[in-house]
Amino acid sequence: MNEFDLLNITSNSYQESCEQMRNELEKRPENQSLAQPLYNDPNMFRADLEQVFYKEWIFVGMTSEVPTKGDYFTVEIGQNPVLIVRDGDGGIQAFHNVCRHRGSTICTKHRGKVANLVCPYHQWTYDLKGNLLYAGTEMGDSFETSQHGLKKAHCKTAGGFIFISLAKEAPDDFDAYLATLEEYMEPYDMENTKVAVESNIVEQANWKLVIENNRECYHCAGSHPELLNTLLEWDDTNDPRATPEFLEQYERQAAEWDAEGIPHQHQDFDGLRNRIVRMPLKEGVEVMTLDGQQGCSKLLGRIKNRQLGSMRILHLPNSWNHMQSDHCIVFRVLPISAQKTLVTTKWLVHKDAVEGVDYDPERLRLVWDATNDQDRILAEQNQQGINSLGYQPGPYSETYEFGVINFINWYSETVRKNMK
Per the structure, how many domains does the chain have? Answer: 2
Residues 50 and 74 in one domain: no
Encode pLDDT of 114-173 as tens digits: 999 999 999 999 999 999 999 987 888 889 999 999 999 999 999 999 999 999 999 988
In a domain, 171, yes or no: no
pLDDT digits (tens, 9 = 90+) for 333-359: 999 999 999 999 999 999 999 999 999
pLDDT digits (tens, 9 = 90+) for 270-290: 888 999 999 999 999 999 999
Give me the CATH number covering residue 106: 2.102.10.10
Query: 3-class SS at 321?
Result: strand
The closest of 337, 184, 336 to 274, measured between CA atoms, is 184
Please state the rounded mean pLDDT for residues 360-369.
Answer: 98
Q: Is the peptide bond before 317 cis (omega within 30 degrees of 0)?
A: yes
Q: What is the CATH number of the domain that holds 5?
A: 3.90.380.10
Confidence band, pLDDT 50/70/90 cuts, at residue 1 = very low
Q: Which domain holds residue 288?
A: 1-56+187-420
Whether 61 is covered by a domain: the verdict is: no
Tell me the pairing of strands 111-113 and 154-158.
unpaired
pLDDT of residue 218 exceeding 70, the answer is: yes
Q: Rounded distance, CA 62 to CA 190, Å?
A: 8
Lowest mean pLDDT across 7-21, 85-99, 198-212, 363-377: 7-21
pTM, two decimal places: 0.95
Q: Are residues 81 and 145 in the same domain?
A: yes
3-state secondary structure of 282: coil
DSSP states along 76-138: EETTEEEEEEE-TTS-EEEEESB-TTT--BS--SSEEE-SSEE-TTT--EE-TTS-EEE--GG
142 plus 229 within the same structural domain: no
Q: Do 128 and 218 belong to one domain? A: no
Q: pLDDT, tens digit, for every residue of 56-107?
A: 999 999 999 999 999 999 999 999 999 999 999 999 999 999 999 999 999 9
Q: Report how far residue 180's alpha carbon sits from residue 381's, in angstroms, rounded to the nearest whole number.
A: 37
pLDDT value at 2 more than 90: no
338 found inside a domain: yes
Question: Which region holds residue 319: left if phi is over 0, alpha if psi is between -120 and 50, else beta?
Answer: beta
Residue 65 lies in a domain: no
Residue 260, in any domain of the structure: yes
pLDDT 10s digits, 220-267: 999 999 999 999 988 777 777 788 999 999 999 999 999 999 999 999
* DSSP-H helix ranges across 234-282: 244-260
Which helix (H) or strand (E) segment holds residue 364: the answer is helix 361-386
